[in-house]
Chain A
Amino acid sequence: MIQIKQLTKTFKNTKGLDNINATVESGEMVALIGSSGSGKSTLMRHICGLMCCDTDSGGQIEVLSRIMQRDGQLSKNARKVRTEVGVIFQQFNLVDRLSVMTNVLMGALGRVPTWRSVSNLFPPAERRLGMESLARVGMADKAWQRASTLSGGQQQRVAIARALTQRARVLLADEPIASLDPESSRIVMDILAQIHREDKITVVVSLHQVEYAIRYCPRTIALRQGRVVYDGPSTALTPSFLKEIYGSETEELFSPAVDNAMRHQSKNTQNQPAPAPAAA
């Protein structure tokens, strides 16, 4: 589904990414963890083609068996590939002054001819899909509000609805909960887990809190200073093991607020099918 080969990115002599090799299979839900500055966001931005790797480094990224970038050059098909890759950002990246519905319909831009989209003549089928997507994230009643009037958690749910409207087969969530309070974080992660399960969407989510990775993602790729330091089942991420690979940075990867949210969550959602833990 996603194939990363020899990916290296240099920022003014420091290695942002250092020879990353990784493969994500169809239907996986993978966490990307690491402290700030470890290269999570940089890697995410490379996968969705918003950034290009070093030229002539031999680096290559394939998404859905199509080349997104190679040797620091965006593929000619990059735009086509992007239409099937949904991206969720830390800062939501909605257009504040547009309505929630218009923001969600942006997901259809890859399918709708430009003349229709720019004259705001989205086909009724796309509008229905947009509305259904909003309903799935519980935001249908806010469809005609301006995006700027929503809270952070609500904006992130709208961003997920945009990816659903995109009919994305791969979802890249770059620190989707880093700007949210624990309660909103839980809702957003639950929605991501739910669409992963129901729509068989491959999800890669970068996090800096290990608890969420263990809770929601069977597999974790851990980055440190631009290198993959661990790639395997999330269950292996015990505090002592993390200390071994991260040393003093470990503290940043655990936060007390998350513990509370987790307890709260397990109380509330006991009879809901929880996302499969890594061991299962």
Chain B
Amino acid sequence: MTVQNTILVDNRPPRSVQSSMTKLSGWAIVIAILAWSWEGADMRPMALITDAGNMATLAGDFFPPNFADWRLYLEEIVVTFHLAVWGTFLAVICAVPFGILSSENIAPWWIYQPVRRVMDACRAINEVVFAMLFVVSVGLGPFAGVLALWVHTTGVLAKLFSEAVEAIDPQPVEGIRSTGATVIEEVIFGVIPQVLPLWISYSLYRFESNVRSATVLGIVGAGGIGVVLWEMIRGFYFAQTCAIMILIIISVTAIDLVSQRLRKLFV
């Protein structure tokens, strides 16, 4: 036994000096970045201790939660859900053509490059920023939220969709092409059947995260439970705030669970 062990140890390939140097310098870079960001992020760990009393008082104000207006909260949560449904639905519809047009293996570069840049822009700007802009243009209310989710989610899904398209097996597409099919037919019969399960899964995932995002959109006036939440926080009604947060946690978790189940069916 011992002999065998020694042999095993001796047989291990010697670690190259170069690879351990790369590893070390990698860690050095990570630590340098953390140190550099300390000041900018205003890191004051001591405040957690010195202000502990403050936080305890605030936490105390949260309990017990006040569910007196639960009907209103529930109504607004349902509105939030509706908003996420439409925002995601419109985004999925738009992400299909944009996703295909930004795929290297389908579109020529002079199409996929500009389409990708537009999608990058949609993705780069947060939903809340879009929501503020749409509140200005279409007025306060859930519709502004729908538009904000639509634009941002289109950018996200188009990228995910095109990544799926770029990973397809080209052989079935050639099979379709060899019958004299048009490009549209190649995409519909050769590409989409291959990517559909992934696309559905991505869409459901984005729906989950849109429900979460939609709870925030209300803060800038774009409808849903966020409006009520913001009113309560601003008015220092912490017991009500707590009730709303609990309801949000429950409903978002429920939607996540259902959607996860659904996604498993498709992949």
Stretch at the interface among B56-64, B171-179, B220-228: B171-179
Q: Determine which of A79, A84, A89, A107 lies in contact with B182 in the assembled complex, contact meaning CB atoms within 8 Å.
A: A79
CB interface residues, B 184-222, toward A, < 8 Å: 184-185, 188-190, 193-194, 196
CB interface residues, B 14-52, toward A, < 8 Å: none
Q: How far is the CA of A93 from the CA of B172 in the complex (A)?
A: 4
B72 part of interface (Cβ distance < 8 Å): no
A159 part of interface (Cβ distance < 8 Å): yes
Q: Are A85 and B178 in contact (CB under 8 A)?
A: yes
Q: Determine which of B179, B184, B196 lies in contact with A107 in the assembled complex, contact meaning CB atoms within 8 Å.
A: B179
B interface majority secondary structure: helix
For the complex, count residues of A whose C-beta is within 8 A of B: 31
A280 part of interface (Cβ distance < 8 Å): no
Q: Are B175 and A82 in contact (CB under 8 A)?
A: no
Stretch at the interface among A110-118, A188-196, A267-275: A110-118
Q: Are A106 and B181 in contact (CB under 8 A)?
A: yes
Q: How far is the CA of A87 from the CA of B174 in the complex (A)?
A: 10
Q: Are B179 and A95 in contact (CB under 8 A)?
A: no
Q: Are A91 and B171 in contact (CB under 8 A)?
A: yes
Q: How far is the CA of A80 from the CA of B180 in the complex (A)?
A: 6
CB interface residues, A 75-110, toward B, < 8 Å: 79-87, 89, 91-98, 102, 106-107, 109-110
Q: Are A98 and B178 in contact (CB under 8 A)?
A: no
A227 part of interface (Cβ distance < 8 Å): no
CB distance from A93 to the nearest CB of B (A): 3
Q: Are B178 and A109 in contact (CB under 8 A)?
A: no
With A117-B185, A118-B185: A110-B171 Cβ-Cβ less than 8 Å: no
A166 part of interface (Cβ distance < 8 Å): yes
Give the residues in chain A near B182, CB-CB below 8 Å: 79, 109, 114
A48 part of interface (Cβ distance < 8 Å): yes
CB interface residues, A 186-234, toward B, < 8 Å: none
Give the residues in chain B near A98, CB-CB below 8 Å: 189, 193
Q: How far is the CA of A93 from the CA of B178 in the complex (A)?
A: 10
With A87-B175, A89-B174: A109-B193 Cβ-Cβ less than 8 Å: no
- Name A's B-contacting residues (CB within 8 A): 48, 50, 79-87, 89, 91-98, 102, 106-107, 109-110, 114, 117-118, 159, 162, 166
> Beyond the given A82-B177, A102-B189, A109-B181, could you list 5 further A-B residue pairs with CB under 8 A, ordered by the A residue number?
A93-B171, A94-B172, A114-B185, A117-B185, A162-B175
